[in-house]
């Protein structure tokens, strides 16, 4: 059989099988749908939100410290504070141009924005961006340097590609509580974009799932399959490989089970900081 005849035969086979092949939605589209619905329905007094918050113990039961941002119900304050102190603040210089991929309702960005001259909120969910904008406005969140009236930019992403005009623009860029819901191909795509957007010598940070962490494996064992509602599981070695292949230099990594550390993100997930040469 000639090459042309072989190719035609393969094409004919694929076409004949196509009706029987179920359409598989992309990781990005699944995330977009889930998080639009989540943000639309979120209210601090919703039963399902309260149930998630109550799973953290007494953390969010104090009326003096109510749930404010979408996602407050995902962790205790101390764990998030420690992540910001160790993986964000040391690498985000005062007056930085910074941004978050998967900013959600803005609970982390609200803590970073005041030290920046400009901040970019990237998300695939228009409802999450709406929530972030509303929360920043209600809380008076703005940059401490630069034009405070226009320092926060909101970009609705239609794909894993970030705006072309932002190449070599950022002093720091990060993604937190987003990539645990993404597969390795999506993580790889965002890493390539983060490298493109960073200025030479500047750093970025990502947070992913961690199959090798005890709490990470426990969550994995409870899931029947990879899920954006749950986690898409990866390992630190896989993430290190992606960071290396993109051409970024690893600077810092979280450690599971460090003495005296009880942090949900360190004991269940993986965080790393990298630098662009």
Contact 82, 267 (CB under 8 A): no
Tens digit of pLDDT at every position of the chain (277 positions):
445 555 555 556 545 555 554 557 888 889 999 999 999 999 998 998 988 888 887 777 766 678 899 999 999 999 999 999 999 999 999 999 999 999 999 999 999 999 999 999 999 999 999 999 999 999 999 998 655 567 999 999 999 999 999 999 999 999 999 999 999 999 999 999 999 999 999 999 999 999 999 999 999 999 988 777 889 999 999 999 999 999 999 999 999 977 677 899 999 999 999 999 9
Cα–Cα distance, 85 to 56 (Å, whole number): 21
Q: How far apart are CA 81 and CA 263, in angstroms?
A: 10
What is the maximum alpha-carbon separation in the chain? 77
CA–CA gap between residue 70 and residue 107 (Å, rounded): 7
Cα 92–96–100 angle (5° rounding)? 65
Q: Parallel, antiparallel, or unpaired: how do β-strands 96-101 and 170-175 relate?
A: parallel
Alpha-carbon distance 164 to 247, whole Å? 19
* CB 243 within 8 Å of CB 250: yes
């Amino acid at each position: 059989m000639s090459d042309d005849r072989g190719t035609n035969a393969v094409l004919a086979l694929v076409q004949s099988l196509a009706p029987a092949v179920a359409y598989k939605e992309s990781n990005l589209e699944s995330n977009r749908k889930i998080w639009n619905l989540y943000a639309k329905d979120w209210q601090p007094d919703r039963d399902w939100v309260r149930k998630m918050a109550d799973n953290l113990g007494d953390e969010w039961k104090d009326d003096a410290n109510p749930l404010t941002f979408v996602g407050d119900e995902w962790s205790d304050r101390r764990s998030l504070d420690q992540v910001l102190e160790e993986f964000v603040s040391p690498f985000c210089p005062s007056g930085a141009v910074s941004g978050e991929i998967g900013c959600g309702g803005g609970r982390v960005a609200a803590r970073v924005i005041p030290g920046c001259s400009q901040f970019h909120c990237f998300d695939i969910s228009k409802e999450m961006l709406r929530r972030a904008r509303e929360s920043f406005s209600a809380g008076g969140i703005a940059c401490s340097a630069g034009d405070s009236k226009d320092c926060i930019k909101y970009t609705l992403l239609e794909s894993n590609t970030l705006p072309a005009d932002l190449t070599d623009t950022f002093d720091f860029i990060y993604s937190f509580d987003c990539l645990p819901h993404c597969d390795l191909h999506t993580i790889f795509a965002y890493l390539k974009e983060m490298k493109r957007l960073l200025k030479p010598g500047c750093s970025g940070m990502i947070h992913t799932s961690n199959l090798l962490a005890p709490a990470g494996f426990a969550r994995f064992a409870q899931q029947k399959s990879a899920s954006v509602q749950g986690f898409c599981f990866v390992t630190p070695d896989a993430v290190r490989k992606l960071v290396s292949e993109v051409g970024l230099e690893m600077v810092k990594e979280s450690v599971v089970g460090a003495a005296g550390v009880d942090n949900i993100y360190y004991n269940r997930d993986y965080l790393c900081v990298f630098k662009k040469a």
